[in-house]
Chain A
Amino acid sequence: MKVSKNELTAALKKSFEGLGFSYGDYLDAAAMVTWSEMTGLDGLQTLERALPFIDAGNSQSPALGYRYADSNNPHPVLDAKGASSLLCGSRIVDLACSLARKNHSVMLRVDNCRNRLFALERLSNAGQRGLVAAMGWFKEGCFSWATIGAGQQYPALKQFVCAPIETPLHQSLWLFCSTAEKDCWELMSAALPELANANKSEQREPQTLQQAYADSLEQGIAMPVPLWEKFDLLTARVLVESTESSRAGAGE
């Protein structure tokens, strides 16, 4: 079956609301998943894998704080406390944008963050709002690296094959934001020397994402029926039983 962008976004909003996300969170999360799917980044598949964890009592945004790794390191480090980036991605990018506006550029590391792919939509937003931005994360022997220029609509994506990363960082996300053009990759490589020998395995240009988005808009978005049915079940949690008395509340 195929669904439209608006239909998917609406279904996701209600599903996330059904999961217990708060007002702003479910709007953001729906936008992140829809964008990831429409740009060809398999947002629905990622969500399907994430749902059992989120539904197991992990649907509230954690309060976040940051620290500096040491006195010589100017880059803040946050602990996402195991939250999905659906719940913390917006605020992390907000913080990066804010710090970049004040200090011209910033590099953030976010530890213990799940479903990091979704934060890419937020990063693109930062690009659209005039910042140079980049993010990177390890997953399954690969390092993913996304960059977006100031005023651009879509990011470029690269993947590098590399040796498995040490445990504390395998769930980390690195974010860069700058008010001016900057070689973020150089900063990233400096922060993670093991990337120096990584081999590029895949590259997607912004135009590829843009075309995928346009195709989804034109032809609709392929939707696995079982997942759609799962959305229905989650949505049912926000619906209220219909009674004779409640029908009066619709003007009957």
Chain B
Amino acid sequence: MTTATLSVMPASTIDGQQGLPMRPADVVMQLDRLGSFHQFRLSFMRTLMRRMITEKWQIEAPVFDLDSNGYGTVVYEVQAKYSRYSFVLFSHYLDDSLRNDRVIADQWDLTMALCEGSVDQEQLEHLRANVPLQEAGRVDSRVFVLSRANRSARNFNYVVDQLAQGSQPDVNKIAEVGYLYRTTAAYGSGKLGMADWDKVRGKHRDFSRPFAAEMFTCFMLRHFSLQQADFIARQRAPDTAVVLDDQIKRYFGIGNSTGLGMAPFLINHPQLINQWVEVRETALATVLVEGQVTDEALDNLQCTAKRVIQHLDEIVTDDALQRQSNQCVHDQLQQVVLPWLKEYGASLSSWTQLTEHAQANWRVETQELINSLLIELYPQLVDRLEEQMDIVERYDLVPEMPLVELRNSIERAYDWALKIDFSQPQEQGVFWYRSEEKMEPRLGQTNIDIGEERQMPLAIGRSVRECYDAICAYLAEYPNDDIAHFLLRQPEFRGIICRIQTMANCRYGEIRENLVHKAVLPMHLLRCKLSFFGVSKFDPRSRLWVRNTMFQGAPLISDFSSPIANQLADGWQFPVKPTN
């Protein structure tokens, strides 16, 4: 067992958290570690749920116009703390053969829009004409999220049949899928004529955290899916139908399919990713420094670890690698971590002893799981960071910086990129491009697939290398020049220099991986972003897209007014089957 030591590392720059010992970027920003992140207290679904319950959001459906098969229109009105919103949903018949989760689909079972204010008839008709078209339609700046979902036909029909017959569905069957609908996209940030993020963050304080509106849309989709199942069962068999039990309802989440489209986001928004990771790392460092190892905290940790073991045990996935990974973490928790806590827990003076031992001995995914669980133990220490997930991104050049200083900065901050030998074929084995099919991002194989000359500039390591080589050659001739003068002659490097200089002020942000390596695993990029969303139950369908579950275990809208609402708001992570 190691003793409690805190390495000397750069301090947090998050407001009010200066001086904390932070993990270095060369540990945190490795792609496989980012792909091992789990949801945690400050993930967006978790913070949204706490906000809705704490602020007692009121949600009603003044329009619930469905036919007996559940097709039609529903408008929910949402009274949040600061403003009123409308969630408008269209339910359509969709032939099974047309159901496609890929971004290239053009028909869906459900289409939805989240709008500011109340929706009048004129706006409703405009939405009805455009929302079902998704990317092929246009909306206006009163709308700020557009989404769609496909039914999990097998699960949905089974649940409705059971309810119509007067029985509750078998939770073992539900556990296999975990949702009634899968969302395949939730668009915000001004796409298709919608309100810009700059407007949303400034005008709608209820949704001013990153992706809060998109997460809320998925939460409302889950609410509708459960309401619709009850509704159809009652229409089908009014004399025998029962409503779905609340405990089982909570065990239903919303499915999500995420593909490569999410990957470029992480590369193109390094300041935002830096902020998310820094908040997470700040939460962890705060817990390690200030979190007292009490009997209660130790019990809570062990108790949650046992629930995670059960949660992992209940995940169903066809993907062999994911299954194996779940099993390994499950076994390590059960056979190593819990016994270790039992033996050493009482003598711990700091959680750092646990994290250092974990880092030295246990799998990366187990380490990151433990980090999530530690953060969970101290809401009073970390919840104040909730409001710090957002940042106004701005990429500025410092033209007067001596070029030699920039070269030194690259050598320090991008040493990982300079170590890559891009002359080796495997280091440029793939390229990223946009397909003519809905501009879907795809991965091509170098010298095999077409489109290499149109590749997206996601190979940051390679761009840095090219820039560095050009700077070194230039400095040999003009050793005293600054960046402005270098760029007069070599303008093609302005973009990457702007990025390098901006990111020099960020602790994290750059993912330390060659994203054009032949064996790159984009799945890690997807998992990283999804962990900040707060999803669970990863089910890879290939190495390039993954199904997962959102809001499984979360409270229902009817729970918002429950006497134990606050308890429900916080205890739903790593959901397990209801026991009765």
Contacts and interface: CB of A to CB of B under 8 A. Distances in A.
A64 B485 CA distance: 9
A246 B434 contact: no
Nearest to B257: A251
B331 interface: no
A2 B454 CA distance: 29
A212 to B, nearest CB: 15
Contacts of B155: none
B190 interface: yes
Contacts of B197: 6
Contacts of B444: 240, 246, 249
A6 B196 contact: yes
A242 B484 contact: no
Contact of B437 (A2, A94, A236, A242): A242
Interface string B179-223: 000000000011111111111000100000000000000000000
A37 interface: no
Nearest to B448: A245
Contact of A241 (B397, B440, B451, B541): B451
Contacts of A236: 436
A217 B198 CA distance: 8
Given A250-B440, A251-B541, A91 B487 contact: yes
Interface string B434-457: 111101111111000111001001
B400 A102 contact: yes
B120 interface: no
A6 to B, nearest CB: 3
Contact of A24 (B140, B434, B493): B493
Q: Which of A24, A64, A66 has the most CB of B within 10 A?
A: A24
B396 interface: yes
A206 B524 CA distance: 46
A100 B541 CA distance: 56
B191 A238 contact: no
A240 B541 contact: no
Given A1-B138, A7-B192, A65-B489, A242 B436 contact: yes
A90 interface: yes
B483 A4 contact: no
Contacts of A202: none
B508 to A, nearest CB: 22
Interface string A1-21: 111111100000000000000
A61 B449 contact: no
B193 A220 contact: yes
B494 interface: yes
A91 B495 contact: no
A101 B498 CA distance: 18
Contacts of A246: 435, 442, 444, 449-451
B435 A251 contact: no
Contacts of A97: 399-400, 484
B543 interface: yes
A211 interface: no
Contact of B488 (A27, A66, A247, A249): A66
Contacts of B489: 63-65
A4 B141 contact: yes
Given A22-B495, A23-B457, A24-B495, A7 B449 contact: no
A131 to B, nearest CB: 11
B435 A239 contact: yes
Contact of A91 (B437, B488, B496): B488
A15 to B, nearest CB: 13
A204 interface: no
Contact of B400 (A24, A62, A98, A243): A98
A251 B260 contact: yes
B141 A238 contact: no
Interface string A171-213: 0000000000000000000000000000000000000000000
A77 to B, nearest CB: 13
B544 interface: yes
A219 interface: yes
A241 B450 contact: yes
Contacts of B195: 4
A25 interface: yes
A101 B487 contact: no
Interface in B474-492: 482-485, 487-492
Interface string B5-22: 000000000000000000
B433 interface: yes
Interface in A59-110: 61-66, 87-88, 90-91, 94-95, 97-99, 101-102
Interface of A: 1-7, 22-25, 27-28, 61-66, 87-88, 90-91, 94-95, 97-99, 101-102, 125, 129, 217-220, 235-243, 245-247, 249-252
Given A5-B196, A87-B491, A250-B442, 19 more contacts: A6-B191, A22-B492, A27-B395, A61-B491, A64-B491, A66-B488, A91-B494, A97-B484, A98-B484, A125-B396, A220-B140, A235-B439, A238-B434, A247-B442, A249-B443, A249-B449, A251-B260, A251-B543, A252-B542
17 contacts: A4-B190, A7-B192, A7-B193, A24-B491, A25-B495, A91-B488, A94-B397, A95-B484, A97-B484, A98-B482, A218-B203, A238-B454, A242-B437, A243-B450, A246-B435, A249-B442, A249-B443
